[in-house]
Chain A
């Protein structure tokens, strides 16, 4: 799996497909064209969104779901135009509210594969509240968070993920805001699946999306996405062939966390991550500490502390280095499954037919203290 170049990211292991349970499958072969709508794509030339769209259109057929049972819900922003370009059901809603809308949809319809497409402004600024609550509830949906660290559609203001000091139209002397780290935020919000990938790495993007779709509960995937117009090169360190080997800290469950040009024999990079007695993690030369000291990534750890510590290896300022992969992937009962279970329990065996329903309605209206006038 590992190659000597170290440029390719490891693929996360695909778990079972619990996330797709209850959704009708198709046995008709599908391809990218089936998922492509007739609408002209209107992002700027060179936008990272094209790569993500291509990856999604290419990967959706592999889910094996019926097209009509897939829904993409987006908010507002460049990336939120996404649903228009997919020939599934879709809703381009309002700024920041897509997770709330998707929650209502996913809770009432267990047969739908629900996807949310959002950006750093949409999800973390105006919609921050809905994002954290969707994550803690663990509603069965997959959230694609396109992070370009800038406001594109409103033409270039700083975003909640922009680096401190960012000079933009609204911050001519530099931003004095402290940015969010979306992965840290999601982990703090009790998320059960948190991953990060890069727009330009189609294979890794696809594999992370597959794992996210297979996850039952809310899966948050942060996608580093380049805005060539207002924030070009924000992720160059992790996308450029010259630097990415040293900039990407690949996370793969069960593997020691190392990076840098890999040793052909051991498959390990020269640098690695160790745990400090303080609880945080830091980067060391593997040779200095020995392989046995290197932290082995455990995405399935019940406690999110180490995942959070790993997320802190991401630069808050100009990005030079970042862990990429699945930070956390654990099972927890979902909100929508439990809500539906309560209804099923209350309904019991009876009450399904129209006559039974009429009778129970009449019973309800006559409940409490009644009297009869003759």
Chain B
């Protein structure tokens, strides 16, 4: 039959099912298809901490949301336009997030009395008025999949497992996605199990063909490619981009990369990824615990490697003492915190930004260190290189604050030219830098560079520069143990001054504040950091589209702040600081600049909702501008 083709500028689809239903894979493949088609996109995987919760229950629901568009977009979207629900629990868990009028495709086969009960439904919602207002399409995904793959002689269970590929085929048809890459992927993935491979390929094709022939779907949609600057692109998650950034940082500094790490959600993928790249001289050490992970990284740094440790919030708590040792010994060390919901074990698979103050202050004594935060999945690449630059140049531990959303979310990445990456000079000490009492040259490990205040990095194996460092207070210059009160005061201030001086190497804060026709700028500034960049940007666009005036700035450096930040804050009547915590950046800004910033805070384990934030901005703009009248 001939189908109607409808143009859309953007679509948000959420695939939802049991943890074992392969929803992450389905979403990921749909994303790759959309990326290669040329849409801009943003994704949000959302899965339970349990690996396989009891089948069919709300606890076991795993979902993958993909937002794709014919224009530049910033978030995975607030409310899905399409929900694919593989069972009643997946429907019930996600229904509340859908926009009114959204399309719901359900696997009607799984809406059995038993599954409905497990999901907490007393009546089958497909037979009541509960879903009125939605466009509900019940499809026997399981039945049709099993029928399509009959010839391969799989058990019914194995056959029905290909239903995710049936649904992917159906959705791929519906949005006109290119399919070659997915077919190639299935060939590769199941190369060793031909029956499974053939079943998945067949189910995928059957899903596509079903869309084309059934009368259940009369419309096919088209979302045109988004205009993007010329270049090579790939879709990339934050954890992958961060891993590549570390490898690039190693290559650009000439320092061999050593990762000491203990598996923890949502950071483990960085360990997995780096373990695959030994060809780049990368050593990955899966330590006995978090403390050993950072300890080994610090030991490697003493030996002249690029020492890195990766973890999430609970791991940072354990590593704190060793990071403090790194602050005292003034060695380069990269500490990656992929933040998750806390406190304690908290929400291991969900996102949050509540480790900022832990990164800032979570050590004994005056223990300042630089903090860098990426703002989007692809930006994790640049942020990692920047963190390496600071660590190596200033001989200091650096905290790189990613989060669960950045880690697993993805977006198209304009692949940089390797020639354009910054070069980082480790500048190892090779010569004595001091003349001893008897006139012989000697080496003082704490004589500082006048510009950066960094101390020399002399690695074992360098003759004549033998020295001892450690956690006890150092005498200024010579670095021997010193309990002298004046010296301690000086050293505490010097370590703080060294970190503060990093600000001199930072670019001025970029403020997006378009003037209107009369040349007026905004009165309200939205200031964020980390992964809230997308939702804040989307909210700011919505406000402007509705005629509101609002400025946006986003911090990459949380410690030290850019030198001009105080001036920027004071240029605006009101500053709204949206964060996925209870106001940690707000607290720092208030303390540092005595500016009465206003917090906008949610800790739901999910990215901020752009439309809610837009409302808050609109209200704030209204009250600010009203005050003039």
- In whole Å, how far is A200's beta carbon from the nearest beta carbon of chain B? 27
Do A100 and B291 form a contact, CB below 8 Å, given A369-B32, A374-B230?
yes
Given A97-B322, A103-B285, A104-B307, A361-B462 contact (CB < 8 Å): no
Whether the Cβ atoms of B305 and A108 lie closer than 8 Å is yes
Q: Give the chain A neighbours of B231 by CB distance below 8 A.
A: 372-373
The reply to whether B303 and A105 contact each other, CB–CB distance below 8 Å, is yes
Complex contacts, B228 vs chain A, CB 8 Å = 373
Instruction: For A346, give the chain B residue with the smallest CB separation.
Output: B278
Which B residues between 216 and 249 are near A, CB-CB below 8 angstroms? 228-235, 244, 247-248
Chain A, Cβ-Cβ closest to B275: A342
Binds A, one of B126-134, B463-471, B601-609: B463-471
Complex Cα distance, B459 from A111, in Å, reads: 12
Q: Does A357 contact B (CB under 8 A)?
A: yes
In-complex Cβ contact of B285 among A90, A92, A107 (8 A) = A107
Q: Which of B251, B258, B468 contacts A357 (CB 8 A)?
A: B251
- CB of A68 within 8 A of CB of B295, answer no
Q: Is A327 an interface residue (CB 8 A)?
A: no
Cα A362 to Cα B232 with chains together (Å): 11
Q: Which residue of B lies closest to A342 (CB)?
A: B278
Residues of B within 8 A of A342 (CB): 278
Q: Give the contact stretch, choosing among A80-88, A159-167, A251-259.
A: A80-88
Contact of B20 with A by CB under 8 A: no
Q: How far is the CB of A2 from chain B (nearest CB, A)?
A: 41
Q: Which residues of A contact B465 (CB under 8 A)?
A: 68
Q: How large is the interface on B (under 10, 10 to 19, 20 to 34, 35 or more residues)?
A: 35 or more
Residues of A within 8 A of B289 (CB): 129
The answer to whether the Cβ of B153 comes within 8 Å of any Cβ in the partner chain is no
- With A68-B464, A339-B283, A373-B38 known as contacts, the answer to whether A105 contacts B278 (CB < 8 A) is no
B281 touches A94 (CB 8 A): no
Asked if B469 and A91 make an inter-chain contact with CB atoms under 8 angstroms apart, the answer reads yes
Interface string of A3-47 (1 = CB under 8 A from B): 000000000000000000000100000000000010100000000
Assess the B460–A103 pair: CB atoms within 8 A. Answer: no
| Residue from A84, A111, A340 whose CB has the most chain B CB atoms within 10 Å | A84
Quick check: A104 and B258 within 8 Å, CB to CB?
Answer: yes
Q: From known contacts A97-B295, A129-B288, infer whether A107 and B258 are also in contact, taking CB-CB under 8 Å.
A: yes
B292 contact from A69, A74, A76, A129, Cβ within 8 A: A129
B300 touches which of A70, A71, A108 (Cβ 8 Å): A108
B466 near A89 with CB under 8 A, answer: yes
**With A101-B299, A361-B247, A361-B248 as given contacts, are A68 and B280 in contact (CB-CB < 8 Å)?**
no
Chain B residues with Cβ below 8 Å from A365 are 244, 248, 415-416, 418
| A156 CB to nearest B CB, Å | 21
Complex Cα spacing A18 to B233, Å: 50
Q: Is A266 interfacial (CB 8 A cutoff)? A: no
B329 within 8 Å of A (CB atoms):
yes
* Chain B proximity of A141: nearest CB distance (Å): 10
A348 to B288, CA, bound (A): 29
Is the CB–CB distance between B461 and A69 below 8 Å?
A: yes
A90 to B300, CA, bound (A): 13
Contact A103 to B292, CB < 8 A, known contacts A68-B461, A369-B235: yes
Give complex CA distance A37, B251 in Å: 36
**Contact A361 B296, beta carbon cutoff 8 Å:** no
Nearest A residue to B226 via CB reads A373
> Which chain B residue shows the least CB distance to A96?
B291
Interface residue? B198 (CB, 8 A): no
* Alpha-carbon distance A202/B597, docked complex (angstroms): 68
Q: Are A101 and B298 in contact (CB under 8 A)?
A: yes
User: Whole-angstrom distance between the alpha carbons of A347 and B281 in the complex?
Assistant: 7
Chain B positions within 8 Å of A108 at CB level:
256, 258, 283, 300, 303-305
Question: Which among A105, A347, A369 is the interface contact of B279 at CB below 8 angstroms?
Answer: A347
Asked if B287 is an interface residue, CB under 8 A from chain A, the answer is: yes
Nearest Cβ distance between residue B247 and chain A, in whole angstroms?
Answer: 7
CB of B260 to closest CB in A, whole Å: 6
Tell which of A88, A103, A364, A373 touches B277, judged by Cβ atoms closer than 8 Å: A364
Cα-based distance from A105 to B322 in the complex (angstroms): 15
Question: Is there a chain B Cβ closer than 8 Å to A275's Cβ?
Answer: no
Q: What residue of chain A has the Cβ atom nearest to residue B305's Cβ?
A: A108
Cβ of A197 to closest chain B Cβ, rounded Å: 25
Q: Is B472 an interface residue (CB 8 A)?
A: yes
B469 close to A368 (CB less than 8 A):
no
B residues 434-474 near A (Cβ < 8 Å) are: 460-472
Q: How far is the CB of B483 from chain A (nearest CB, A)?
A: 11
A361 CA to B417 CA, complexed, in Å: 10
Complex Cα–Cα for A360 and B278 (A): 12
Determine how close the nearest CB of chain A comes to the CB of B552; give it in whole angstroms: 26
B55 close to chain A: CB less than 8 A:
no
Distance in angstroms from B120 CB to nearest chain A CB is 40
CB neighbours (8 Å) of B305 from chain A are: 104, 108
- Contact present for A133 and B288 (CB under 8 Å): yes
Tell me, yes or no, whether A278 is within 8 Å of chain B by CB.
no
When distances are taken between beta carbons in the complex, the residues of chain B under 8 Å from A107 are 258, 283, 285, 296, 300
- Tell me if A55 is interfacial: C-beta within 8 Å of chain B: no
| Residues 220-246 of chain A, each 1 if its beta carbon lies under 8 Å from chain B, else 0 | 000000000000000000000000000
B285 touches A361 (CB 8 A): no
Does A90 lie within 8 Å of B468, measured CB to CB?
yes
**Nearest B residue to A340 by beta-carbon distance?**
B283
B418 touches A358 (CB 8 A): yes
> B297 contacts the other chain (Cβ, under 8 Å)?
yes
- Distance in angstroms between the alpha carbons of A90 and B480 in the assembled complex: 12
Q: Tell whether, in the assembled complex, residue A370 and residue B285 are in contact, meaning their CB atoms are under 8 Å apart.
A: no
Give the docked Cα–Cα distance between A366 and B299 (Å): 33
B residues touching A (Cβ–Cβ < 8 Å)? 32, 35-36, 38, 181, 228-235, 244, 247-248, 251, 256, 258, 260, 277-283, 285, 287-289, 291-292, 295-305, 307, 321-322, 324-325, 329, 415-419, 460-472, 480-481
Complex A-B, nearest 4 residue pairs according to Cβ-Cβ distance, in ascending order: A92-B470, A104-B296, A104-B299, A100-B295
| Additional A-B contacts beyond A93-B471, A104-B307, A373-B231 (11; CB < 8 A) | A69-B460, A90-B469, A94-B324, A100-B295, A100-B296, A104-B285, A343-B281, A361-B418, A364-B280, A365-B244, A365-B248
List residues of chain A with CB under 8 Å of any chain B CB: 24, 37, 39, 66-71, 73-74, 76, 83-84, 86-94, 97, 100-109, 111-112, 129-130, 133, 339-340, 342-343, 345-348, 351, 357-358, 360-362, 364-366, 368-374
Can you sample 17 A-B contacts with CB below 8 Å? A67-B466, A71-B302, A92-B471, A93-B295, A94-B471, A97-B322, A101-B302, A103-B296, A107-B258, A108-B304, A108-B305, A112-B461, A343-B278, A361-B248, A364-B244, A369-B32, A369-B36
